[in-house]
Structure 1
Amino acid sequence: MARDGAVAVEELLARRRPGHSLEAPFYTSAEIFERDLALVFGRHWIFVAVEGEVAEPGDYVTVEIGTASIIVVRDDDGGLAAFHNVCRHRGARILSEPAGVVGKLVCPYHQWTYDLDGALLHAEHMGAGFDRACHALKRVHVRSLAGLVHVCLAEEPPADFDAMAAAVTPYLAPHGLAEAKVAASIDLIEEGNWKLTMENNRECYHCATNHPELTVSLFEYGFGFAPDDADADRAAAMAAYERICAEFEARWAREGLPFAEIERLAGCPTGFRTQRLAIDRAGESQTMDTRSACRRLLGALSEPRLGGLSFWTQPNAWHHLMADHAVSFSVIPLAPDRTLLRTKWLVHRDAVEGLDYDVERLTEVWRATNEQDGALVAIGQKGVASPAYEPGPYSPWTEGLVERFVAWYVERLGAGLAADATR
């Protein structure tokens, strides 16, 4: 794919140095960006929505991944379905709104009409020999993981989704996300490559100096700690953190909540990681006072002081689940240097705004944190575009999860290139 003296992506992958950031073209090249869309976002399970957005028959959301537009809809039987948002007549977009409610899927151009299962019901003026059964909407693979909706654009999706589901459903299920509703949703455009957004999320090296709101509730030690850098104060803080973790582990065990870390971030198509983590002070929620932001707890949980469950999936999502609410994040590439970060705050479906929760308080920590992270991604993008940039070393203590994300990306991009080469 080399043009204008550029190095072929295969060569860039082959010479990637473990423990170091990627070379500049991975963050700046339009050609590599297109490969990312085709081979990563086009062939893996991508988190796109939560079930609360499509709770009733006819509820739908649309999602854009590159040039593909996808409809996720609740069908008349109560199941989830996903289709390409392309009429089988002359290709017009069927739905143009990001979300809504429909009885049928009707193309606005010539009124071809589809049932919620994708079957073509009506197509006027097509003649007696026209077979509607041959012109159903093209399906997209869709799976819900305890209320977290994933799609895959590939003809044959990765087969290991079930393995992930088996491992993490016991962690997610107590929070009842499939029965939760979206209390708030915010889209943020970050001025950087999608991999910089993901790398930034996968470490807390930067948290202490950049996230004053987030670190009220979260410990930087939960994401890595360098004991050889510790002075007496930091050593004492680390010891206190370990005591708090032990207290939470005893509480989780009493409540029957799994908490041990499970990590399968590389070596498989559907990489994931989950772990229950302590929350500081009151220990209830990621709020400015660390107390619950919603009086109605999620699922069947009855104890507010349960810390938080962290759940990540490759390539584009992370989630924080607490007793009172959950925060869900999805990343969608828009351009080599532009990325959509979509954040949703979930509460129990029977919680009442103004009575059980206040949206401002519910969202304040992650609204601030996302803005701060967006600024960091932007300066990172400016840096990797400089002729002075060269891949730098990751901290072995605090950036190990960044390395595992990058290793997964290199592995999966290489696998996609190899598969295409054999066709």
Structure 2
Amino acid sequence: MDHSSTDLSSVHRPIAEANGLPNAHYIDAGVFDEEKHAVFFENWSGLAVAADVPQIGDAKPVTFLGMPLLIVRDKQDNVRVFQNICRHRGMILVEEPRKIEGAIRCPYHSWCYATDGRLVSTPHVGGPGQNVHDAIDKATLGLIEVRSHIWNDVIFVNISGNADPFEVVHADLLARWAEFDMPVYHGGADSRIQLDLKTNWKLIVENYCESYHLPWVHPGLNSYSRLEDHYHIENVGKFSGQGTHVYRQIKDEDGSVFPDFPGLSDKWQAAGEYLTFLPNVMVGVQRDHIFVILLDPIAVDRTVETAHLYYASPETSANLRAKNTEQWQVVFVEDIMAVEGMQRGRHGGGFDGGRFSPAMDGPTHLFHQWVASCIERGRTAKATAAE
């Protein structure tokens, strides 16, 4: 199909009259490619966490929407993101996570790069034994750096380089959670959850935005943080999600709990909030820990979801961390039925994008509107460039 012809006008109607995004936005490879550029590359998208490269010299290759990238912690302890390709013939530089002891060496012709991206060595480039050539200017042939920003250990990238600064784009959300702008500590190997889901990435965000499904999909969670204990959080064009007035701290057998983040206001004694740094980073904040979920859109109908748990102190009980990870894993796994079931449902030819409950689906409707707006801007830019 001609994916640029999908009609998004009904998404922008008032919620009581609106439809969701058309089926093609969940099952058509052409639309998925359109979203890659208009939604992910033009905005600040979540890539990984800095805890993936904890030590100086650590390097981790990742593929993001088909683009080979390399996350490196350089000699100055800065986390940087480069395209994982040699500037000579485009060879992949690093195949597996590893420590860079000296330089990043291309396995093809041995061009070498410093961890800050500088091209430092070009052996035999001018002929046998001649390591320089007038046509090869090292100063202009460093690794291609991808614009990046780190917030609370999450590495965000703006592939196109066109987005406003991260602090400007997310100013409202950062202000809302200003109390959590402090060091956080990854719980380690036992604080990471990964799920490979047969669904489009948007369905995971939609499900995260709302609490409407709690009584039926999360009966355990709903037993103490009920549907009626939740509230909507809506900021048009910026973010949306949900919060709860009843956050229950997990306790060890001896009654101990995780240490609280210091200096939080009284609101957080019992509250928790769950919002999305659009498009693909879902964050939950509570008094004693934060979780971050990164969505990696592998294909139109496949998404890898990785959750990381963070704490206020580097020293926490291993037993308590394990219990917390297990508790959240149960919740995340319970959602698989919903997000994969909706994905299969998008192959129903008569489905018109669905309707929204004006009382319960406000955050989800705002997410649909944001995606539609990104796509429309992309179409306008493409049409202008073609003139």
Same fold (TM over 0.5): yes
Note closer, same or farther for the CA distance 1:218–1:110 as it changes in structure 2 (3 Å cut). Answer: farther
Q: Which amino acid is the alignment partner of residue 41 of structure 2? A: G
Q: TM-score, normalised by structure 2?
A: 0.84
Q: Which amino acid is the alignment partner of residue 215 of structure 1? A: N
Cα distance, 1:223 vs. partner?
4.7
How far, CA to CA, are the matches of 1:65 and 1:46 in structure 2? 10
Q: Pick from 224, 241, 245 the counterpart of residue 278 of structure 1.
A: 245
How far, CA to CA, are the matches of 1:147 and 1:165 in structure 2? 16
What does 1:90-101 correspond to in 2, within 5 Å?
A: 90-97=89-96, 99-101=97-99
| Superposed CA offset, 1:240-279 (max 9, x none) | xxxxxxxxxxxxxxxxxxxxx6x4341xxxx335886422
Q: Which amino acid is the alignment partner of residue 189 of structure 1? A: D
What does 1:175-324 correspond to in 2, within 5 Å?
A: 175=180, 178-183=183-188, 184-221=191-228, 223=230, 263-266=234-237, 271-273=238-240, 277-280=244-247, 283-284=248-249, 295-298=258-261, 305-324=269-288
What does 1:88-237 correspond to in 2, within 5 Å?
A: 88-97=87-96, 99-103=97-101, 104-127=103-126, 128-129=132-133, 130-156=136-162, 158-159=163-164, 161-172=166-177, 174-175=179-180, 178-183=183-188, 184-221=191-228, 223=230
Cα distance, 1:407 vs. partner?
0.4
State whether residues 146 and 173 of structure 1, in contact with CA within 8 Å, keep that contact through their aligned partners in structure 2: no
Note closer, same or farther for the CA distance 1:46–1:90 as it changes in structure 2 (3 Å cut). Answer: same
- Is residue 4 of structure 2 the alignment partner of residue 9 of structure 1? yes
Q: How many residues align?
A: 369
Note closer, same or farther for the CA distance 1:123–1:358 as it changes in structure 2 (3 Å cut). Answer: farther
| Superposed CA offset, 1:326-360 (max 9, x none) | 11111121111111111111124521453xx4343
Q: Give RMSD over aligned pairs.
A: 2.9
SS of corresponding position for 1:92: coil
- Is residue 315 of structure 2 the alignment partner of residue 351 of structure 1? yes
State whether residues 59 and 70 of structure 2, in contact with CA within 8 Å, keep that contact through their aligned partners in structure 1: yes
Partner of 1:396: 358
| Superposed CA offset, 1:112-159 (max 9, x none) | 221121111122111232322221100101012243321110032x11
- Is residue 78 of structure 2 the alignment partner of residue 79 of structure 1? yes
- Percent identity of equivalent pairs: 25
SS of corresponding position for 2:335: helix
State whether residues 173 and 239 of structure 2, in contact with CA within 8 Å, keep that contact through their aligned partners in structure 1: no
Gaps of 5+ in 2: 127-131
How far, CA to CA, are the matches of 1:145 and 1:352 in structure 2? 22
Note closer, same or farther for the CA distance 1:275–1:377 as it changes in structure 2 (3 Å cut). Answer: closer
Cα distance, 1:71 vs. partner?
2.0
| Superposed CA offset, 1:177-201 (max 9, x none) | 6441243212211111111111111
How far, CA to CA, are the matches of 1:402 and 1:327 in structure 2? 20
SS of corresponding position for 1:12: coil
State whether residues 311 and 318 of structure 1, in contact with CA within 8 Å, keep that contact through their aligned partners in structure 2: yes
How far, CA to CA, are the matches of 2:4 and 2:65 in structure 1? 20
Gaps of 5+ in 1: 1-5, 226-260
Note closer, same or farther for the CA distance 1:319–1:132 as it changes in structure 2 (3 Å cut). Answer: same
How far, CA to CA, are the matches of 1:220 and 1:105 in structure 2? 52
Partner of 1:331: 295
Note closer, same or farther for the CA distance 1:199–1:70 as it changes in structure 2 (3 Å cut). Answer: same
Note closer, same or farther for the CA distance 1:125–1:297 as it changes in structure 2 (3 Å cut). Answer: farther
How far, CA to CA, are the matches of 1:299 and 1:329 in structure 2? 23
Q: TM-score, normalised by structure 1?
A: 0.78
Q: Which amino acid is the alignment partner of residue 194 of structure 1? A: W
State whether residues 214 and 227 of structure 2, in contact with CA within 8 Å, keep that contact through their aligned partners in structure 1: yes
State whether residues 32 and 299 of structure 2, in contact with CA within 8 Å, keep that contact through their aligned partners in structure 1: yes
